[in-house]
Amino acid sequence: MAPSRMQGLGPSVAVVLAAVGKILVDPENRTNGQSDPHDRRPVLHICLTCRPAGTPPEAPNDPAAGSEFHDAVLRRLRDRNLGSSIRVNPISCMANCEQGCSAALSAPGKWSYIAGFLGAELADDVIDYALVYGASRTGVVMPSKRAPSLRDAVVARVPAHPDDLPEQRDKA
């Protein structure tokens, strides 16, 4: 990422992007860029470059609203002593721009969810959602189990990779 694009990404985003646009995992999630196949914690992927929904592309984005959301999530995880419960993976773009600040929630063998219309003020609600998601066997969290602020935030869900399911399923 060009240095001008790095402006506004927030101080807690240490070295997030490397050469050729490869994305590294935030060092605060204690993986040091390495995946552990036995780590079953939910991963919250947060877009750092997001703008609030409806913001024109030519409008200033410094600091980026996605970066502010990322920083708020990390801060609240520390404040609530939950840093080891959820992995946070900052990324540069989720291509969900029409829905403003976006994040995805995933875990091995579970449905993944993409949410939009997020912001720093929703950090605690997103953390609570990730905790309920992590406790779910399949990753399904009904809207009634989400904070009211997130009931309409989910814009898509993606099934788990078939090779990563906890039990064998009948083939179609």
Complete DSSP assignment for 39-102: ----EEEEESS---TT--TTS--SS-HHHHHHHHHHHHHHHTT-TTTSEEEEES--S-GGG-EE
- Residue 172 resides in a domain: no
- Residue 170 resides in a domain: no
| pLDDT above 90 (res 76) | yes
Other beta carbons within 10 Å of 71: 21
* pTM (two decimals): 0.74
Structural contact between residues 112 and 45, judged by C-beta atoms closer than 8 angstroms? no
- Residue 103 resides in a domain: yes
- 41-55 pLDDT, tens digit per residue, is 999 999 998 887 777
- Residue 171 resides in a domain: no
| pLDDT above 50 (res 11) | no
Q: How many domains does the chain have?
A: 1
Domain hosting 19: range is 3-164
19: domain CATH number is: 3.40.30.10
- Residue 118 resides in a domain: yes
